[in-house]
């Protein structure tokens, strides 16, 4: 079995939690990624972060997300690895921003050759599950084997540890 990478986008600060805007010290997707790392100890982690700072206020972030998606933007990301050749399996995670992953996730994905790699997607959300994120990953990663993803209700992420463990083992 080859090496594993856990690549994820997550935002702390103002977030939608069960319909309320709440300030989080750590983003829900980051918590899920840390659980995955706990169960795959030798995995490497990469947090996908944009060079341009994201808006702090949730309503401003949501407006930016909509503009970025409609323009099919690919924001520059910090410290993007030069290669993922050493990884056989890549867990890809992010929050559901308007029916898919944040555009920075696609910046990351489109930097690499995915031929023969296994992708295990996970997403945090407040009721919209994956939306069309799986289709978007499939289009962005030709040649990859996309496994069943894990949809995590963000407000309940801390209670998903056992589900994450089962998902990894399946």
Q: What is the pLDDT of residue 170?
A: 85
Selection from 43, 46, 40, 65 nearest residue 54 by Cα: 65
Domain 3-169 has CATH 3.40.50.12500: no
Confidence (pLDDT) at 96: 96
11-65 residue pLDDT tens: 999 999 999 999 999 999 999 999 999 999 999 999 999 999 999 999 999 999 9
pLDDT tens, position by position, 103-145: 999 999 999 999 999 999 999 999 999 999 999 999 999 999 9
Model's pTM, two decimal places? 0.95
Average pLDDT of span 80-104: 96
| Nearest partner of 76 among 50, 55, 100, 94, judged by Cα | 50
64 φ/ψ angles, rounded to the nearest 5 degrees: -65, -45
């Amino acid at each position: 079995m080859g090496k594993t990478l856990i690549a994820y986008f997550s935002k702390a600060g103002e977030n939608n939690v069960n319909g309320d805007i709440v300030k989080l010290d750590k983003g829900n997707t980051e918590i899920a990624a840390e659980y995955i790392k706990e169960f795959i100890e030798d995995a490497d982690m990469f947090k996908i972060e944009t060079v341009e700072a994201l808006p702090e206020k949730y309503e401003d972030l949501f407006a930016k997300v909509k503009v970025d998606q409609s323009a099919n933007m690919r924001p520059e990301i910090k410290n993007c690895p030069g290669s993922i050749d050493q990884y056989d399996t890549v867990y890809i995670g992010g929050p559901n921003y308007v029916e898919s992953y944040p555009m920075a996730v696609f910046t990351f994905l489109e930097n690499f050759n995915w031929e023969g790699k296994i992708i295990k997607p996970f997403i945090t959300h407040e009721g919209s599950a994956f939306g069309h994120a799986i289709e978007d990953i499939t289009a962005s990663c030709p040649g990859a084997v996309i496994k069943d993803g894990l949809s995590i209700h963000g407000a309940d992420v801390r209670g998903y540890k056992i589900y994450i463990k089962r998902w990894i083992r399946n």
